[in-house]
Every structure is written in C-alpha cells, then in structure tokens.
Amino acid sequence: MSATRRSADGFALQVMVGLCLIWGVQQVMIKWAASDIAPVMQAAGRSGISALLVGLLICWKGGWDQVGTTWRGGLLAGALFGLEFFFIAEGLQLTTAAHMSVFLYTAPIFTALGVHWLLPSERLRPVQWLGIFLAFIGIAIAFAGGVSWDNLDHRMLMGDALGVLAGASWGATTVVVRASRLSEAPVTLTLFYQLIVGFVGLLLIAILSGQVTHVSLTTVAVASVLFQGLVVSFFSYLTWFWLLRRYLAANLAVFSFMTPLFGVTFGVVLLGEELSLNFVIGAVLVLLGITFVSAEQWVRRRLRKALGQP
C-alpha cells in the first residue's frame, strides 16, 4: 500500500481543511456543553456511540479474526486513549478550549520520543530534536502567566498541564499501535479497541466520581455528544485513516497543524476566550516545533531549497 501513496494534492488539502475544522471545534463543543453534561460523560458517550458504529463496520467488512493476536496491544492502546480523554475532560473544566487545542497537539512530540527509543528505524534526526526543543520552550513560555508566581492563574495552569498530559497519552497510544501487532491490524479494529476500552474506563470514572449524574438532556448536550460520536470519533477518524493509506504522512502532517489554529480561533470567537501574549508566543513555538518533528523531510527539503542546495 505504501508504494501507492502520493504527495498531497488539492483534494487532500480540501479534505484536511474539513477535518481540521472538525477537530478544532471539538474542544469548544465539550466546553460549551459542560454545564449540561459533565465533560467525562461526553467523552464516554462519544466513545460508546462510535464503538457501536465501528463494531458494525467490522461485522460488515471483517477483522474480528485478528482479535486473538492483537487484544493485548488493543487493551493498552484503549486504556491510553481513555486516559487522553479523561485529561481533556478534566482539563477543560480548568483551562480554555484554546489552550487545550494547542497543548493536546503536542502529541507528535511524545510519539517521536517514544518511537526513537523503541524503533531503531525511526531515530530522531537533528531537525526533529530542534523541533522538540522549540516545542518544550514554547510550553514553558505558554505556562508563564507573569514574572511572579502570584500572577499565575493556578487553575488554568493545572488545566494546561492536563492538556499536555492528554497530548502525552495520545502520543503513547500512537507508539503502542506502531510498536505492537496493531500496526498490521485493520484500522477499524485498532480504532474499535480504543473506543470500547475508552468507553468502559470513562464510564467507570464517571460513576466513581459521581459525574454520571451530571447529565441534562438539553439540545446543547445531545448535539455535543452526537457531534463528537458521529462526526469526530467515527467519520473524521476513518476519513483520516483513509487519507493516510493514499497520501504521504509527512504532507498530511503539515496540513493537520491547522487544527490547533482553528481550535484557538473557535475558542476566541464562539466562547469569548482571551489570549495572553505569552500564550500566543508559546503556541507559535509549539506549532513550529511540531512541524519540525512531524514533517522533518518536508522541512529539510524547504531548507535546502531556501539555501539553494540540491
């Protein structure tokens, strides 16, 4: 399949813009509906809906025969997936959707570090190490709310930290998929593991924490869960995997950096969130660092062209 992958074209760009819009607005939807339904319940609901749909898709197209060889990696990937959305749900109660959108997308940094140690064929190159350095400097600047500790918003700081932990969990999920038998399994089965284990884990957390009772079936609550379950977790994820099978991953990675930009924009426009200068500067460095890590080959080609090298 890799031999048929090609550089991104106009069609891929249009699809990626649509996907990034969907991904960018999901944090805003969670925060928008938080007063009607607890974010962790939203995460459990979306995972349950999507797991049902993906399970039916596997029944139609096949893939259950590989459960016997992939279930261990599937359980671990699913646990990390659930942990990611637990951190997102809890973090959004403390910080803004704009902040969460940026810190969540530090995931490629953690993925690159993980595969560097586990997969000898994917060692980090100098440009990628530079990207990691820039990203972590950006995180530090974005965290800094002022010159003294008294000027820091401690609730937002904790929410931002949960956003970084969500990114780390997402990155670890990708590492597990890449380094286990899941790398050879159908994408539908890999996605099903994440959704079903995440659903069970998040629902259990909601029950134990008492958040299972924080549910009001308002129009906003239902719209948020259905949007996340049908559009984000089912349609957009399967579309993303479809693109990855047809286009070069590095090309798509560059386009995917539109997501946190959309997330920040939606947070400001739809929720009236304010952005501090330090956050804007930090976010720019984080996005630049992620670009260097995820699209290293593309960056190297651009640098060579700028320097007039072949």
Q: What is the pLDDT of residue 121?
A: 67
Q: What is the mean pLDDT of the chain?
A: 85
Q: What is the pLDDT of residue 19?
A: 92
More reliable by pLDDT, 149 or 298: 298
Quick one: average pLDDT of 118-123? 72
Interatomic CA distance for residues 22 and 290, integer angstroms: 20
Choice among 50-64, 140-154, 170-184 with the minimum mean pLDDT: 140-154
More reliable by pLDDT, 7 or 136: 136
Location of structure tokens 């959305």: 85
The DSSP annotation for 153-198 comes to -HHHHHHHHHHHHHHHHHHHHHHHHHHSGGGGS-HHHHHHHHHHHH
Cα distances (Å, whole numbers) of residue 160 to 179, 192, 204, 284: 29, 29, 24, 16
Q: Which of 308, 224, 306 is nearest to 270 (CA)?
A: 224
Interatomic CA distance for residues 202 and 196, integer angstroms: 10
Quick one: average pLDDT of 38-48? 95
pTM of the model: 0.85
Interatomic CA distance for residues 161 and 91, integer angstroms: 8
pLDDT tens by residue, 237-270: 999 888 877 886 666 777 777 888 888 889 888 8
- Name the residue type at position 168: A
Location of structure tokens 């995972």: 47
Cα distances (Å, whole numbers) of residue 44 to 39, 103, 119, 166, 175: 9, 21, 32, 16, 23
Phi, psi torsion values for 177, nearest 5 degrees: -65, -45
Phi, psi torsion values for 272, nearest 5 degrees: 70, 30
Interatomic CA distance for residues 1 and 23, integer angstroms: 26
Residue 89: burial class (beta carbons within 10 Å; 0-12, 13-18, 19+): buried
Q: Confidence class of residue 303 from pLDDT cuts 50, 70 and 90?
A: low
Q: Is the pLDDT of residue 147 over 50?
A: no
Q: Is the pLDDT of residue 148 over 50?
A: no
Choice among 3-7, 58-62, 99-103, 172-176 with the minimum mean pLDDT: 3-7
Q: What is the pLDDT of residue 75?
A: 96
Q: Is the pLDDT of residue 109 over 80?
A: yes
Q: What is the pLDDT of residue 301?
A: 67
Interatomic CA distance for residues 13 and 251, integer angstroms: 10
